[in-house]
Structure 1
Amino acid sequence: MTPAEPMTPAVSVVMVTYQTRELTRRALTGLLGTPSAVPYEVIVVDNASTDGSAEAIRAEFPAVRVVRLARNVGFGRAVNVGAERAHGRWVLLVNPDTEPVGDVIAELVRFASANPEHGIYTGRTLRPDGTDDGHSVFGLPGLWSYACFAVGLSTLFRRSRLVNPEELPGLSRSTAATVPAVSGCLLLVERALFAELGGFAPEYFMYSEDIDLCVRAARRGARPALVPTARLLHVGGGASTSGGKRVMVLRGKVTYLRSHWSVPRAAAGRALLATGVAARAAGARLTGRAGYWREVWHRRAEWLAGWPPPEHLPAVRLVTPHPTDAPTT
């Protein structure tokens, strides 16, 4: 089944793109070319790309609704724009650097319909060789996990449940399970729940917004779930350099600490993160390897501040709406 006629979709697929024209075209070709047992619509939110992404998508995929933003407002706020225009019972987030393996939409919806108490769902994200990349589910950060990062244990012993709890190395990805948090790369959520939560928290430009959403949903009784039969091939890293990506990841982590931890605990968490980055930067200087850590350390004032709070953010503005963005009635 191809994207549904207006007003009939069960699922609204929301894809955010920024300077990823070819990746997005490939992702949409794979998604729309894979028959689904569930009616769905596709909404692409373009974060002010300058590579012609919006124009190319509109020309090549007329069934896709394209929303073009006047400036890059980050992943979470762009998703919120797409979700506001969704008609499905479910909102499904899919990254533009992915390709479906089978009917990923139907697999998620079948599980969610049979297990509605979870509220939020993900599948498995795979490397090109078909193995699980381990990045679709997460444990929640804590002082212990940050202490292990600070002294390097989580890097040296990545397969250890004890010292690398955030990556959930002991969790079987082949069995359905309740998990602490899921990745926004592949995330199915009831639209009503997403709206009740206010969508993604606007202060997260990128990274940790998905963990924040899961924590807030859990307070309302949700139990995020892994659905092993729903699979995506994940190319990864389509829009970030190594050093720049790590800076953004750390800004997301610090924003999460600011949002969810007490002031003393958050200060301890930042100190442990800084210690871990400093140690890696020193190691990079000595060995000449992984030089991006030196860049991350040099930019520590930037990421230790986290992302700006909501009151400092500019308003979200759309480029003059295109007919395909007009809400259906």
Structure 2
Amino acid sequence: MTRPPDEGVELSICISYYDAPDYLSRCLNSIRNSDTRCKYEILVVDDASPRPCTEAVTAVFSDACVIVNSENLGYAKANNLLIDTAAGHFVLVLNCDTQILPGALDAMVAYLNKHPDAGAVGPKVLNDDGTLQPQCRRGFLSPLSSFAYSVGLDRLFPHNRALGEYLLRYVNPEETHEVQSLSGACMMVRREVIEQLGAFDETLVQYSEDLDWCYRITAADWHVVYLPKAEVIHSGGKGGTNIRFFRSLYYYHRNPWIIFCRYPRNRFFPLYGWLIALMVLTRFSIASLRLLWGERRVGTRKGSAH
């Protein structure tokens, strides 16, 4: 059950934290300096971090709500705790390794207020060097687009709609447009959507929770929208969970396969389905062997994590 909305709070900013105090302080200060005019509240969950964050949070926002977990729950469960506590009409899920650029929050709130059929909106998410993180605006994970993404064909033929459908490489990133999924690093969701559909699927663990949530939102006939006039910087891979690396690697490959099988569009392509399964198994096996040889950063792409 979510908390009843507070008429005085328009936006609840929910931040999940694990062992990245410098990034969290930078994130909080970016919010404070973002010239946000709507009334908002700050909620942070310390997911059993070895370096607590309560003092760092209250040093920037003295009235912030801080939840301290006794054990590490992971991305989905930790964020769901915050979402259940949130009192705003809109809920922003925000990674602690992000920086909110001026005007971004007001732009997203204004869009949702102006478009009542929009269930969620997300900003243009940038890397530290200012380049776009393409996972902030995703299309449908079809059999062909999944295959093209996995083997890199979408990057070789970015203007091909069939091959580039997943990361929408053929769509101008400077234009507002409807998408199938946003980035869990920063996405704003309407309270009515949460009351209707719930929040993150806690069975997925660490990867693809945002993909699944957005797919459920669009399946319920809400619009999910990418709004490039709102910009956020995401460092990526900081302050996540304490899940061991091999398990993280496993979930990185397992969860997209679950998403791929979960939605009806993919059930009509059994041959493609088996091909994707074989490809996922092969990539996981190769990444595991590389891990045994001491390579720690395998299996993921820059900006692909929450």
TM over 0.5, yes or no? yes
Gaps of 5+ in 1: 1-5, 297-329
Would you say the 8 A contact 1:126–1:133 is kept in 2? yes
**How far is the alpha carbon of 1:51 from its aligned partner?**
1.3
Query: Structure 1 residue 129: deviation in Å?
Result: 3.5
Is it true that 1:273 corresponds to 2:280 in the alignment?
yes
Q: CA deviation at 1:157?
A: 5.1
Cα distance in 1, alignment partners of residues 164 and 247 from structure 2: 23
- Give the whole-Å Cα distance in 1 for the aligned partners of 2:92 and 2:104: 10
8 Å CA contact retained: 2:178, 2:226? yes
2:253 alignment partner AA: L
Residues 60-71 of structure 1 aligned to structure 2 (within 5 Å): 60-71=60-71
Q: CA 1:231–1:292 in 2, change beyond 3 Å: closer, same or farther?
A: closer
1:94-113 deviation per Cα after TM superposition (whole angstroms, max 9, x unaligned): 11111111121100011111
Question: Which structure has the bigger radius of gyration?
Answer: 1
2:158 and 2:170 in contact (8 A); partners too? no
Letter in 2 for 1:252: N
Counterpart Cα distance in 2 of 1:291 and 1:88:
40
- Equivalent residues in 2 for 1:221-260 (5 A)? 221-239=221-239, 246-260=249-263
Structure 1 residue 65 displacement after superposition = 0.8
Question: Is the counterpart of residue 19 in structure 1 residue 19 in structure 2?
Answer: yes
Whether the 8 Å contact between 1:149 and 1:272 is mirrored in structure 2 is no
Identify if the C-alpha distance between structure 1 residues 216 and 101 changes in structure 2 by more than 3 Å, giving closer, same or farther.
same
SS at match of 1:214: helix
Aligned residue pairs, count: 287
Aligned position for 1:131: 131
Judged with a 3 Å threshold, the aligned counterparts in structure 2 of structure 1 residues 101 and 243 are, in CA distance, closer, same or farther, namely farther
Q: Which amino acid aligns with 1:70?
A: S
Q: Are 1:257 and 1:269, in contact at CA under 8 Å, matched by a contact in 2?
A: no
CA distance in 2, matches of 1:193, 1:149: 29
- Paired position in structure 1 for 2:118: 118
The CA deviation at 1:83 is: 1.1
One-letter amino acid of the counterpart of residue 277, structure 2: R
Identical pairs, percent: 23
Amino acid aligned to 2:203:
E
Question: How far apart in 1 are the matches of 2:120 and 2:83?
Answer: 15
The aligned counterpart of 2:3 is none
Write the distance in 2 (CA, Å) between the matches of 1:271 and 1:9.
Answer: 48
Residue 181 of structure 2 corresponds to residue 181 of structure 1: yes
Instruction: Measure the CA separation in 2 of the matches of 1:106 and 1:229.
Output: 10
| 1:49 corresponding residue in structure 2 | 49
Specify the SS of the correspondent of 1:92: strand
Contact 1:47 1:72 in 2 (8 A): yes
Which residue pairs with 1:192 in the alignment? Answer: 192
The 1:152/1:281 distance shift into structure 2, 3 A limit, reads farther
Structure 1 residue 204 and structure 2 residue 207: aligned? Answer: no
1:15-164 counterparts in 2 under 5 A? 15-149=15-149, 151-154=151-154, 161-164=161-164
Equivalence for 2:303: none
For residues 292 and 56 of structure 1, do their structure 2 counterparts lie closer, same or farther at Cα, with a shift above 3 Å needed?
closer
Higher mean alpha-carbon deviation, 265-274 vs 109-118, is at: 265-274
**Alignment match, 2:304:** none
What is the deviation of 1:130?
Answer: 2.8
Query: Contact 1:83 / 1:191 at 8 angstroms: preserved in 2?
Result: no
Cα separation, 2, equivalents of 1:156 and 1:279: 22
Q: 1:263 to 1:205 in 2, by over 3 A?
A: farther
Deviations 1:208-245 (A, max 9, x none): 11111111111211110011111101211214799775
Give the distance between the partners of 1:263 and 1:48, measured in 2 at CA.
Answer: 43
Aligned-partner residue type, residue 105 of structure 1? L
* Distance change in 2, residues 1:75/1:9 (3 Å): same
Residues 18 and 147 of structure 1: CA distance in aligned 2, closer, same or farther (over 3 Å): same
